[in-house]
A and B are shown apart, each in its own frame.
Chain A
Amino acid sequence: EVQLLESGGGLVQPGGSLRLSCAASGFTFSTFAMSWVRQAPGKGLEWVSVISDSAGSTFYADSVKGRFTISRDNSKNTLYLQMNSLRVEDTAVYYCAKSNGGNCYGSQDYWGQGTLVTVSS
């Protein structure tokens, strides 16, 4: 059974940093691209970032480019999102999602339960 378990969310002040983690199990992690998608309270879905299976390719939404970094450790079956220079508008539930292929251009076939990031003073 595919499982994705996010952690690392919490309350942070504007300008602060957080690192989210997503522990994956139930599939061969190293052969699938992985994404982060966020959802602000009461709002729709916003794609944040994607990383290919080998970490050779990474892409970001303009809203986070230069502030967020996606990475993965295939030996630990774990996906990360390093978030720096956080803004109030980054407040959201952050979902980790598995792509249905190894390259970045796939749909997301499994999602974690999400972790809440709140940016507030």
Chain B
Amino acid sequence: DIVMTQSPDSLAVSLGERATINCKSSQSVLYNSNNKNYLAWYQQKPGQPPKLLIYWASTRESGVPDRFSGSGSGTDFTLTISSLQAEDVAVYYCQQHYSIPFTFGPGTKVDIK
């Protein structure tokens, strides 16, 4: 199984400041035949289901604010919130859908400092 790790476990950022979350997979999730990274980022607010933010590691889902961006390839990925807003308080998960079983990272909790 591919193991997903995230860092940090939690972070507190001032409003308007940048938040950066890292995700690492135990093996590459880059599919060479189509050059796509099978890596997604989700946001989950308390009492709500997860919401897809980023897919193929760097493609923003429709309707997601452009302050959210994803980067990375192979085994190392980053989710960046360029200017944190109050509504961004949530837990963020990365997920690989490259191989069965699909696996999620443990989550990173983002709060306001």
Contacts and interface: CB of A to CB of B under 8 A. Distances in A.
B45 interface: no
Interface in A3-52: 35, 37, 44-47, 50
A105 B50 contact: no
Contact of B49 (A50, A105, A107, A112): A112
Interface string A105-116: 111111111100
A100 interface: yes
A47 to B, nearest CB: 4
Tell me the interface secondary structure of chain A in the complex.
Answer: strand
A108 B104 contact: no
A13 B98 CA distance: 35
B112 to A, nearest CB: 21
B86 interface: no
Given A44-B93, A45-B93, A109 B104 contact: no
Contacts of B40: 107-108
Contacts of B51: 111
Interface of B: 1, 38, 40, 42, 44, 49-52, 55-56, 61, 93, 95, 97-98, 100-107
11 contacts: A45-B42, A45-B44, A46-B104, A47-B103, A62-B1, A95-B50, A100-B55, A105-B38, A107-B55, A109-B61, A111-B51
